[in-house]
Structure 1
Amino acid sequence: MDRVRDIENKERGFVDMTERLPKDYFDLAGGTSTGGLAALMMFRLGMSASKTIEQYEKLASKVFAPTIGDYEIHKLPLGYSFGNFWLWVKRLIYGAPFSANRLESAIDTVLQLPELGQFRGTGSDLLCDPTKPSGMMLMCATVTEKGEAVLFRSYPLPADSRPQSETAKKIRHDQITLKQACRATSAAPTYLPEMLIDGIGFWDGGLLNNNPVDQVWDARYDLPDARTVVDVSTGTVTYIEPTVACVVSIGTSYFPQLVKKAAPGGRGGINSLIITAIRALGFATNTEAKHWDFMGNNIRRNMRLPDAEQHTQYFRYNARASKDINLDDYKSMDSLKEDTKTYLEYFDQGLNAEGKPMTAADLDMHIDKCAKLLAKTTLCEENN
């Protein structure tokens, strides 16, 4: 968003250093787990990207800190090592070492920020609240009984987008609260306990859609420009295909060596079985695989559309991590920040995520190209 601001200031001829809000530039956002929480903060609550990062860091440090009672073990001498051992013990005993109560408390803390204005409230507020018009966003979760993906939306559930299984049909989408949606999208097995809503169990959406780009793309039919038109005289329904200028996908970093370490060897036995299981789990939650699939499908779609104005430009940004970072390792946030800083500097040097010269495909996804597409360079665009 900083680059969008820089382009706008340059093109308009006057300086406005106000931080741009994602909800003012994107019609729809979605995410799973961390991405779901970020989408909620930026679009449902109207927060800036920098404020979202700041609040997520505080939330993660509260949720993922190992505790005995309410005391955070990491604050003790040698607390990091002992804390990780304690989490391992709790995982063996309880299955999930982290407290759902601490997550709910952290969510309430975010919702009490004075700067939220009309969006300030509590976790008991409805995710879809017509009295608080917000940006359109969705969060992915998984119905544990059926393994079915479910989307919790900040806007009314479209009539032609109903769940299919009998279990999912029981979900009262208009009654889902902020706290319930956040808990459901974050309930990663072996980390946080399953979330129950009206007797229906939910795990995090990452089990099926760790990169929910397809879910967000399909939800383009939820946009106002895609609403159906009904001919009153004949009753004929016309479905409108919305024109989507761009899709931006942002990852939480990837560690390429992890796949190499998990590559199966030629030996059999229990060791080979464990390695294969780890590798299979990695494939199941592989966000880059979804990226390559979507990019290929998008290229094919664009080739079939003769009008270039109907083409959708796709951008994917995912920093290369310098080390493997576990989901709960909030202490490595600084390392992730440095990796992201390096990644962004590479763009200015004409290098890709691996530090190699950009190919034509890399240039098509250059962050400056994306920013130019999003920037509102005229007052007319600003008012729309």
Structure 2
Amino acid sequence: LLADGGGIRGYVLLLILDELAHAISTYEIKLEAETCQCEHPSSFDPGLLRLSDYFDYIYGTSTGGITAVMLGRLNMTVKQSLEVYRGLSSTVFHRRQLVGYLPFATRYSSKNFEEASRQIVMKYCDGTDVFAKGTNQCHTYVHGSLLQLSKLTTRRICVTATHGGEHAYKPFLLRTHTSHLPSVPAPALQYNRESSKLPISGVLRATSAAPCFFKPYSITLNGKRIRFKDGGIRANNPSQVAWNEHQGQHKTNPALLLSIGTGQSEHPKDGFSAGGKPGHIREMVAIWRDIIDKYTSSEIIHQTMLGIAGGETSWYRRLNPSSGVGDIRLDELKRGLWTDPATGQKRYIPGGKTLSKMESGTREYLDRDFEGGYETSSPPMDAIHQIAEKLVRLRRAKMSVGVGVSCSHTDLVCSHD
């Protein structure tokens, strides 16, 4: 499972995963009824479904890294993750620092983000736990960028970050598990291999340290000062990173590589349609935004993966809204009316208008028909059901032969390994 970065639009990604979780529940119940002839069939509770039971590896970048940590390392349900994400967004993006209105200044308080991250970890795990975890759990990878060279570690839930020195040209992988591969075959890139010694809250902070939004995350490990920035600078769409890693470990394509985006922009910002005279401030700002868009582009990687996989008809699939949400700013949080999905109650809240827009835009995307300009195989909802059925059949096949089964999160209790 691969989760793109996208700021506040990470909520869109979770909405899509919520639909996938619902479809998985449907197929679990259906296949159980078809195959179980026993007097007392096992019951399946959709409320306990966790995607970490269906994916061996979860990769995420930036806000996608937050999703990867919640689903993979903290073993949260999608519903729990949606609730946490709504609260985190309103806490982090609710009020900009005064200095944040200056060009290229840091807009938001890093301390608020760090405290919010610690609260999440304390609620769903032990706030002192490190990110690295036992080998019998879903492997989580978070992408970041390391600004200063260090000897860090990570794997299986994988979050990307960015860092300088010998890793400056490629993502730095914050892993729950150490990779023991001696080498990887060409053309796959080889990344850092060690599991991360960062605390879980530190991993959340490291992968989300977006330039101009938050200060780089700094920490001292083994006597060395390390600084991270947002992994979206190197791999906003972690699909190719995941494929490289899988090729190195298994030397074959995965049974399923599912990439989830946070929405495509409907209006290209090349700077030349911004109006005004050449060199005008509006044109310069638009060109700068275009540079950032291209540097953090997810669709370029998607096109590369389509070429590698030969389309979306076998092991590679991607779900990414083509309209309605892609132009929502990374930090947009407009107050307005929002409907609580648990109670149906309507109320005005910080970010309510933005949340409602993302919910309606995602729903429109999921319910629309096939569009050849965006899909290569099936309309979104058909694709979700195809993916869900495949995931359920793969899980059931794995359990039927007893290969590597581990149910480690029944009560969300976190133990130190």
Q: Which band: TM-score by shorter chain?
A: 0.7 to 0.9
Task: Give the 5 Å matches for 1:216-295.
Answer: 216-220=242-246, 226=249, 240-259=250-269, 263=273, 268-271=278-281, 272-295=283-306
Q: How many residues matched?
A: 321
Amino acid at match of 1:257: H
**More displaced, 187-196 or 288-297?**
288-297
Give the helix-richer structure, 1 or 2: 1
Q: Establish whether residue 16 from structure 1 lines up as the match of residue 44 from structure 2.
A: yes
Q: Establish whether residue 367 from structure 1 lines up as the match of residue 395 from structure 2.
A: no
Question: What runs of 5+ residues in structure 2 fail to find an aligned partner?
Answer: 1-20, 35-42, 149-163, 185-190, 334-350, 403-417
Cα separation, 2, equivalents of 1:379 and 1:273:
55
The counterpart of 1:193, out of the listed 210, 215, 220, is 215
**More displaced, 291-300 or 55-64?**
291-300
Matched with 1:82 is none
The counterpart of 2:310, out of the listed 277, 299, 302, is 299
Aligned-residue CA RMSD (Å):
3.3
3-state SS of 1:138 partner:
strand
Task: Give the 5 Å matches for 1:1-384.
Answer: 1-13=21-33, 16-19=44-47, 20-66=49-95, 87=97, 89-92=99-102, 95-113=105-123, 116=124, 120-122=125-127, 124-130=128-134, 133-144=136-147, 146=164, 147-148=168-169, 149-160=171-182, 173-198=195-220, 199-220=225-246, 226=249, 240-259=250-269, 263=273, 268-271=278-281, 272-299=283-310, 312-322=314-324, 324-330=327-333, 331=351, 332-346=354-368, 350-352=369-371, 361-362=377-378, 366-376=383-393, 381-382=398-399, 384=402
Once the two structures are superposed, residues 143-201 of structure 1 have per-residue CA deviations (whole angstroms, 9 ceiling, x without a partner) of 23523420000112435379xxxxx98x9854222122111100001101111132122
Aligned in 2, Cα 1:249/1:28: closer, same or farther, shift over 3 Å?
Answer: same
Once the two structures are superposed, residues 73-127 of structure 1 have per-residue CA deviations (whole angstroms, 9 ceiling, x without a partner) of xxxxxxxxxxxxx5464342892121222112111221232xx4xxx110x3211
Cα separation, 1, equivalents of 2:394 and 2:33:
10
Q: Percent identity?
A: 23
Aligned in 2, Cα 1:133/1:104: closer, same or farther, shift over 3 Å?
Answer: farther
3-state SS of 1:366 partner:
helix
Query: What is the deviation of 1:137?
Result: 0.8
Query: What is the deviation of 1:273?
Result: 3.6
Q: TM-score, normalised by structure 2?
A: 0.68
Cα separation, 1, equivalents of 2:97 and 2:399:
49
Q: TM-score, normalised by structure 1?
A: 0.73
Cα separation, 1, equivalents of 2:114 and 2:228:
16
Contact 1:128 1:153 in 2 (8 A): yes
Larger radius of gyration: 1
Contact 2:256 2:316 in 1 (8 A): yes
Cα separation, 2, equivalents of 1:263 and 1:88:
31
Cα separation, 2, equivalents of 1:254 and 1:88:
31
Question: What runs of 5+ residues in structure 1 fail to find an aligned partner?
Answer: 67-85, 163-167, 227-239, 303-310
Aligned in 2, Cα 1:372/1:181: closer, same or farther, shift over 3 Å?
Answer: same
4+ runs of 1 displaced by more than 6 Å? 356-359
Contact 1:12 1:378 in 2 (8 A): no
Cα separation, 1, equivalents of 2:132 and 2:287:
42
3-state SS of 1:142 partner:
strand
Contact 2:209 2:217 in 1 (8 A): yes
Aligned in 2, Cα 1:159/1:375: closer, same or farther, shift over 3 Å?
Answer: closer
**Relative contact order (alpha carbons < 8 A, sep ≥ 6): 1 or 2 greater?**
2
3-state SS of 1:196 partner:
strand
